Homo-oligomer: A and B are copies of this chain.
Protein backbone atom coordinates (compact mmCIF):
# COMPACT_ATOMS: atom_id res chain seq x y z
CA UNK A 1 0.00 0.00 0.00
CA UNK A 2 1.51 3.35 -0.94
CA UNK A 3 1.37 6.54 1.10
CA UNK A 4 -1.70 7.93 -0.64
CA UNK A 5 -3.58 4.66 -0.33
CA UNK A 6 -2.79 4.54 3.36
CA UNK A 7 -4.04 8.10 3.78
CA UNK A 8 -7.25 7.33 1.92
CA UNK A 9 -7.85 4.30 4.10
CA UNK A 10 -7.21 6.24 7.31
CA UNK A 11 -9.56 9.02 6.21
CA UNK A 12 -12.33 6.55 5.42
CA UNK A 13 -15.60 6.67 7.41
CA UNK A 14 -16.30 7.35 10.23
CA UNK A 15 -13.38 9.79 10.21
CA UNK A 16 -14.42 13.39 9.80
CA UNK A 17 -11.20 15.32 10.48
CA UNK A 18 -7.45 14.83 10.45
CA UNK A 19 -5.18 17.34 12.22
CA UNK A 20 -3.07 17.65 10.19
CA UNK A 21 -3.02 15.68 6.97
CA UNK A 22 0.56 16.79 6.27
CA UNK A 23 1.66 15.30 9.59
CA UNK A 24 -0.28 12.10 8.94
CA UNK A 25 1.37 11.77 5.53
CA UNK A 26 4.79 11.81 7.20
CA UNK A 27 3.70 9.42 9.92
CA UNK A 28 2.41 6.72 7.57
CA UNK A 29 5.86 6.65 5.98
CA UNK A 30 7.47 5.79 9.32
CA UNK A 31 8.45 2.27 10.23
CA UNK A 32 5.56 1.04 12.42
CA UNK A 33 4.00 4.27 13.69
CA UNK A 34 1.88 4.05 16.84
CA UNK A 35 -1.79 4.93 17.07
CA UNK A 36 -3.99 4.86 20.16
CA UNK A 37 -7.55 5.32 21.31
CA UNK A 38 -8.84 5.47 24.85
CA UNK A 39 -12.09 4.23 26.33
CA UNK A 40 -13.13 5.02 29.89
CA UNK A 41 -14.94 1.93 31.23
CA UNK A 42 -18.26 3.51 32.11
CA UNK A 43 -21.54 2.36 30.49
CA UNK A 44 -21.91 -0.72 28.29
CA UNK A 45 -20.32 -0.45 24.86
CA UNK A 46 -22.66 -0.17 21.90
CA UNK A 47 -22.43 -0.01 18.13
CA UNK A 48 -21.29 3.62 18.39
CA UNK A 49 -18.14 2.26 20.04
CA UNK A 50 -17.99 -0.55 17.51
CA UNK A 51 -17.90 2.06 14.73
CA UNK A 52 -14.72 3.53 16.23
CA UNK A 53 -13.16 0.18 17.14
CA UNK A 54 -13.72 -1.08 13.59
CA UNK A 55 -11.57 1.77 12.33
CA UNK A 56 -8.60 0.25 14.15
CA UNK A 57 -8.52 -2.38 11.40
CA UNK A 58 -7.74 0.46 8.97
CA UNK A 59 -4.83 1.64 11.11
CA UNK A 60 -3.42 -1.88 11.24
CA UNK A 61 -3.69 -2.24 7.47
CA UNK A 62 -1.90 1.08 7.06
CA UNK A 63 1.05 -0.36 8.99
CA UNK A 64 0.32 1.03 12.44
CA UNK A 65 0.96 -0.58 15.76
CA UNK A 66 -2.19 0.17 17.75
CA UNK A 67 -2.75 0.61 21.47
CA UNK A 68 -6.15 0.63 23.08
CA UNK A 69 -6.25 2.31 26.44
CA UNK A 70 -8.87 1.20 28.91
CA UNK A 71 -8.84 4.39 30.91
CA UNK A 72 -9.80 3.04 34.31
CA UNK A 73 -8.38 5.96 36.25
CA UNK A 74 -10.29 8.38 34.04
CA UNK A 75 -13.45 6.45 34.85
CA UNK A 76 -12.52 6.71 38.51
CA UNK A 77 -12.37 10.49 38.12
CA UNK A 78 -15.95 10.46 36.93
CA UNK A 79 -17.46 8.55 39.82
CA UNK A 80 -21.01 9.52 38.90
CA UNK A 81 -20.75 7.26 35.88
CA UNK A 82 -18.84 4.36 37.40
CA UNK A 83 -19.16 3.46 41.07
CA UNK A 84 -15.69 2.60 42.36
CA UNK A 85 -16.60 -0.94 43.37
CA UNK A 86 -17.61 -1.74 39.79
CA UNK A 87 -14.49 -0.31 38.17
CA UNK A 88 -12.51 -3.53 38.00
CA UNK A 89 -15.46 -5.52 36.66
CA UNK A 90 -16.18 -2.88 34.01
CA UNK A 91 -12.54 -2.79 32.99
CA UNK A 92 -12.75 -6.54 32.39
CA UNK A 93 -16.02 -6.13 30.53
CA UNK A 94 -14.50 -3.49 28.25
CA UNK A 95 -11.41 -5.62 27.64
CA UNK A 96 -13.49 -8.56 26.45
CA UNK A 97 -15.89 -6.44 24.43
CA UNK A 98 -13.05 -4.65 22.68
CA UNK A 99 -11.30 -7.92 21.87
CA UNK A 100 -14.55 -9.23 20.43
CA UNK A 101 -15.04 -6.11 18.32
CA UNK A 102 -11.49 -6.32 16.97
CA UNK A 103 -12.25 -9.88 15.91
CA UNK A 104 -15.61 -8.83 14.50
CA UNK A 105 -13.79 -6.19 12.44
CA UNK A 106 -11.68 -8.97 10.97
CA UNK A 107 -8.47 -7.53 12.43
CA UNK A 108 -5.60 -9.43 14.01
CA UNK A 109 -5.92 -9.22 17.78
CA UNK A 110 -2.20 -9.93 18.16
CA UNK A 111 -1.36 -6.64 16.50
CA UNK A 112 -3.33 -4.66 19.07
CA UNK A 113 -2.06 -3.89 22.54
CA UNK A 114 -4.68 -3.39 25.22
CA UNK A 115 -3.37 -1.25 28.08
CA UNK A 116 -4.96 -0.13 31.31
CA UNK A 117 -4.51 3.41 32.56
CA UNK A 118 -3.61 2.10 36.00
CA UNK A 119 -0.64 0.28 34.43
CA UNK A 120 1.23 3.56 34.13
CA UNK A 121 -0.88 6.55 35.17
CA UNK A 122 0.44 6.45 38.72
CA UNK A 123 4.05 6.59 37.55
CA UNK A 124 6.06 9.54 38.73
CA UNK A 125 7.02 10.67 35.24
CA UNK A 126 3.41 10.59 34.12
CA UNK A 127 2.32 12.58 37.15
CA UNK A 128 5.05 15.16 36.63
CA UNK A 129 4.01 15.36 33.00
CA UNK A 130 0.43 16.33 33.69
CA UNK A 131 1.52 18.71 36.42
CA UNK A 132 3.81 20.50 33.99
CA UNK A 133 1.08 20.58 31.36
CA UNK A 134 -1.24 22.12 33.96
CA UNK A 135 1.22 24.95 34.46
CA UNK A 136 0.95 25.72 30.78
CA UNK A 137 -2.78 26.20 30.48
CA UNK A 138 -5.31 28.36 32.27
CA UNK A 139 -8.23 26.99 34.24
CA UNK A 140 -10.61 28.56 31.74
CA UNK A 141 -8.87 26.82 28.85
CA UNK A 142 -8.96 23.48 30.65
CA UNK A 143 -12.64 23.87 31.44
CA UNK A 144 -13.40 24.50 27.81
CA UNK A 145 -11.27 21.55 26.76
CA UNK A 146 -13.16 19.05 28.85
CA UNK A 147 -16.57 20.64 28.38
CA UNK A 148 -17.84 18.01 25.95
CA UNK A 149 -16.59 15.13 28.06
CA UNK A 150 -17.50 16.04 31.63
CA UNK A 151 -20.27 18.17 33.04
CA UNK A 152 -19.50 21.81 32.38
CA UNK A 153 -21.42 24.24 34.56
CA UNK A 154 -21.11 25.75 38.02
CA UNK A 155 -21.12 22.28 39.46
CA UNK A 156 -18.16 21.11 37.36
CA UNK A 157 -15.87 19.08 39.56
CA UNK A 158 -12.22 19.95 40.10
CA UNK A 159 -11.37 16.49 38.78
CA UNK A 160 -12.68 17.72 35.41
CA UNK A 161 -9.63 19.98 35.25
CA UNK A 162 -7.23 17.08 35.78
CA UNK A 163 -8.99 14.84 33.26
CA UNK A 164 -7.83 16.51 30.00
CA UNK A 165 -4.20 16.78 31.07
CA UNK A 166 -4.05 13.11 31.93
CA UNK A 167 -5.48 12.34 28.52
CA UNK A 168 -2.86 14.52 26.87
CA UNK A 169 -0.11 12.76 28.83
CA UNK A 170 -1.47 9.42 27.61
CA UNK A 171 -0.23 10.34 24.14
CA UNK A 172 3.28 10.73 25.55
CA UNK A 173 3.18 7.72 27.85
CA UNK A 174 1.92 5.45 25.07
CA UNK A 175 4.40 6.86 22.54
CA UNK A 176 1.54 7.66 20.19
CA UNK A 177 2.15 9.31 16.83
CA UNK A 178 -1.58 9.50 16.30
CA UNK A 179 -4.42 9.98 18.76
CA UNK A 180 -7.58 8.55 17.28
CA UNK A 181 -10.80 9.62 19.01
CA UNK A 182 -14.40 10.65 18.68
CA UNK A 183 -14.78 14.27 17.70
CA UNK A 184 -16.15 15.00 21.20
CA UNK A 185 -12.52 14.68 22.36
CA UNK A 186 -11.34 17.29 19.87
CA UNK A 187 -10.89 20.15 22.34
CA UNK A 188 -8.80 18.05 24.68
CA UNK A 189 -6.37 16.95 21.99
CA UNK A 190 -6.20 20.44 20.50
CA UNK A 191 -5.17 21.65 23.97
CA UNK A 192 -2.61 18.85 23.85
CA UNK A 193 -1.21 20.07 20.55
CA UNK A 194 -0.84 23.50 22.11
CA UNK A 195 0.71 22.47 25.42
CA UNK A 196 2.86 19.40 24.65
CA UNK A 197 5.57 21.41 22.87
CA UNK A 198 5.73 23.70 25.94
CA UNK A 199 6.91 20.78 28.06
CA UNK A 200 9.33 19.60 25.41
CA UNK A 201 7.13 16.87 23.93
CA UNK A 202 6.04 16.44 20.33
CA UNK A 203 2.50 17.40 19.50
CA UNK A 204 0.32 14.48 18.63
CA UNK A 205 -1.42 14.15 15.27
CA UNK A 206 -5.17 13.62 15.56
CA UNK A 207 -7.73 11.60 13.67
CA UNK A 208 -11.29 12.35 14.73
CA UNK A 209 -14.34 10.22 14.06
CA UNK A 210 -17.88 11.33 13.68
CA UNK A 211 -19.97 10.53 16.74
CA UNK A 212 -22.92 8.38 15.82
CA UNK A 213 -26.17 9.17 17.58
CA UNK A 214 -28.10 6.62 19.60
CA UNK A 215 -30.66 4.75 17.61
CA UNK A 216 -33.37 6.55 19.50
CA UNK A 217 -31.98 9.86 18.22
CA UNK A 218 -29.67 12.39 19.88
CA UNK A 219 -26.04 11.93 20.82
CA UNK A 220 -25.22 8.33 21.59
CA UNK A 221 -24.05 8.15 25.14
CA UNK A 222 -23.04 4.98 26.86
CA UNK A 223 -24.31 6.30 30.17
CA UNK A 224 -27.93 6.83 29.16
CA UNK A 225 -30.26 3.89 28.79
CA UNK A 226 -32.02 3.93 25.50
CA UNK A 227 -32.54 1.88 22.41
CA UNK A 228 -28.85 1.60 21.65
CA UNK A 229 -27.66 -1.64 20.18
CA UNK A 230 -25.26 -3.10 22.71
CA UNK A 231 -22.33 -5.04 21.32
CA UNK A 232 -23.24 -8.03 23.49
CA UNK A 233 -26.95 -7.92 22.68
CA UNK A 234 -28.41 -11.20 21.51
CA UNK A 235 -29.42 -11.38 17.82
CA UNK A 236 -33.11 -10.86 18.50
CA UNK A 237 -32.44 -7.70 20.50
CA UNK A 238 -30.16 -6.31 17.78
CA UNK A 239 -32.81 -6.92 15.15
CA UNK A 240 -35.62 -5.47 17.24
CA UNK A 241 -33.73 -2.32 18.15
CA UNK A 242 -32.86 -1.67 14.55
CA UNK A 243 -36.45 -2.31 13.48
CA UNK A 244 -37.49 0.37 15.97
CA UNK A 245 -34.86 2.86 14.82
CA UNK A 246 -35.63 6.17 13.15
CA UNK A 247 -35.46 5.73 9.36
CA UNK A 248 -38.00 7.90 7.48
CA UNK A 249 -38.59 6.74 3.91
CA UNK A 250 -36.74 8.74 1.28
CA UNK A 251 -35.29 11.06 3.94
CA UNK A 252 -31.59 11.39 4.81
CA UNK A 253 -32.04 13.99 7.54
CA UNK A 254 -31.22 12.53 10.97
CA UNK A 255 -31.52 9.10 9.44
CA UNK A 256 -29.60 7.11 11.99
CA UNK A 257 -29.98 3.81 10.21
CA UNK A 258 -28.37 5.20 7.07
CA UNK A 259 -25.55 6.65 9.17
CA UNK A 260 -24.74 3.20 10.50
CA UNK A 261 -24.99 1.71 7.05
CA UNK A 262 -22.46 4.25 5.79
CA UNK A 263 -20.08 4.47 8.75
CA UNK A 264 -20.11 0.95 10.08
CA UNK A 265 -21.65 -1.54 7.70
CA UNK A 266 -20.02 -0.62 4.40
CA UNK A 267 -16.47 -0.33 5.78
CA UNK A 268 -16.98 -3.81 7.29
CA UNK A 269 -18.34 -5.20 4.02
CA UNK A 270 -15.59 -3.60 1.94
CA UNK A 271 -13.00 -5.26 4.14
CA UNK A 272 -14.67 -8.61 3.57
CA UNK A 273 -15.17 -7.87 -0.10
CA UNK A 274 -18.85 -8.62 0.35
CA UNK A 275 -21.96 -7.05 -1.08
CA UNK A 276 -24.86 -5.88 1.06
CA UNK A 277 -27.66 -8.20 0.14
CA UNK A 278 -31.20 -7.08 0.91
CA UNK A 279 -33.64 -9.93 0.58
CA UNK A 280 -37.07 -9.02 -0.66
CA UNK A 281 -40.03 -11.12 -1.82
CA UNK A 282 -40.33 -11.36 -5.61
CA UNK A 283 -43.66 -9.53 -5.50
CA UNK A 284 -41.95 -6.43 -4.03
CA UNK A 285 -39.21 -6.46 -6.65
CA UNK A 286 -36.93 -9.24 -5.46
CA UNK A 287 -33.47 -9.08 -3.83
CA UNK A 288 -31.29 -6.01 -3.96
CA UNK A 289 -27.52 -5.92 -3.66
CA UNK A 290 -25.11 -3.00 -3.10
CA UNK A 291 -21.34 -2.75 -3.40
CA UNK A 292 -21.13 0.73 -1.87
CA UNK A 293 -23.08 3.22 0.17
CA UNK A 294 -23.65 5.64 -2.70
CA UNK A 295 -25.71 3.15 -4.68
CA UNK A 296 -27.78 2.31 -1.66
CA UNK A 297 -28.45 5.93 -0.76
CA UNK A 298 -29.61 6.60 -4.30
CA UNK A 299 -32.16 3.79 -4.16
CA UNK A 300 -33.29 4.86 -0.72
CA UNK A 301 -33.88 8.43 -1.87
CA UNK A 302 -35.77 7.33 -4.94
CA UNK A 303 -38.01 5.07 -2.88
CA UNK A 304 -36.77 1.95 -4.62
CA UNK A 305 -35.39 0.77 -1.26
CA UNK A 306 -37.94 0.75 1.53
CA UNK A 307 -36.91 1.41 5.17
CA UNK A 308 -38.42 -1.85 6.42
CA UNK A 309 -36.38 -3.96 4.01
CA UNK A 310 -33.22 -2.00 4.79
CA UNK A 311 -33.64 -2.29 8.56
CA UNK A 312 -34.38 -5.98 8.39
CA UNK A 313 -31.27 -6.64 6.33
CA UNK A 314 -29.09 -4.40 8.52
CA UNK A 315 -30.37 -6.03 11.70
CA UNK A 316 -29.66 -9.53 10.40
CA UNK A 317 -26.22 -8.56 9.19
CA UNK A 318 -25.16 -6.72 12.33
CA UNK A 319 -26.42 -9.51 14.57
CA UNK A 320 -24.20 -11.90 12.62
CA UNK A 321 -21.19 -9.56 12.61
CA UNK A 322 -21.34 -9.12 16.37
CA UNK A 323 -21.14 -12.85 17.01
CA UNK A 324 -17.45 -12.82 18.10
CA UNK A 325 -18.32 -10.33 20.84
CA UNK A 326 -21.25 -12.38 22.12
CA UNK A 327 -19.14 -15.53 22.11
CA UNK A 328 -16.68 -13.98 24.53
CA UNK A 329 -19.46 -13.31 27.01
CA UNK A 330 -21.27 -16.63 26.68
CA UNK A 331 -21.42 -18.64 29.89
CA UNK A 332 -19.58 -15.94 31.84
CA UNK A 333 -20.89 -13.54 34.47
CA UNK A 334 -18.99 -10.49 33.17
CA UNK A 335 -22.12 -8.44 32.57
CA UNK A 336 -23.73 -9.46 35.81
CA UNK A 337 -20.67 -8.31 37.76
CA UNK A 338 -20.15 -5.06 35.88
CA UNK A 339 -23.68 -3.80 35.35
CA UNK A 340 -25.99 -5.01 38.03
Contact = CB atoms under 8 A, between A and B. Distances in A.
User: What secondary structure prevails in chain A residues at the interface with B?
Assistant: helix
Nearest to A145: B158
Interface string A128-139: 100111111111
A154 B140 contact: yes
A162 B159 CA distance: 9
Interface string A92-135: 00000000000000000000000000000010100110011111
B122 A134 contact: no
B122 A139 contact: no
B154 A158 contact: no
Contacts of A9: none
Contacts of A156: 138-140
A165 B158 contact: yes
Interface in A140-169: 140-143, 154-162, 165
21 contacts: A76-B128, A76-B131, A77-B134, A77-B135, A78-B135, A122-B124, A127-B127, A134-B157, A134-B159, A134-B162, A135-B158, A138-B155, A138-B157, A139-B156, A139-B157, A139-B158, A139-B161, A140-B156, A142-B158, A142-B161, A158-B161
Interface of A: 73, 76-79, 122, 124, 127-128, 131-143, 154-162, 165
Given A77-B135, A141-B158, 20 more contacts: A73-B131, A76-B128, A76-B131, A76-B132, A77-B131, A77-B134, A79-B135, A122-B127, A127-B127, A131-B159, A131-B162, A135-B158, A135-B159, A136-B157, A138-B158, A139-B143, A139-B156, A139-B160, A161-B161, A162-B162
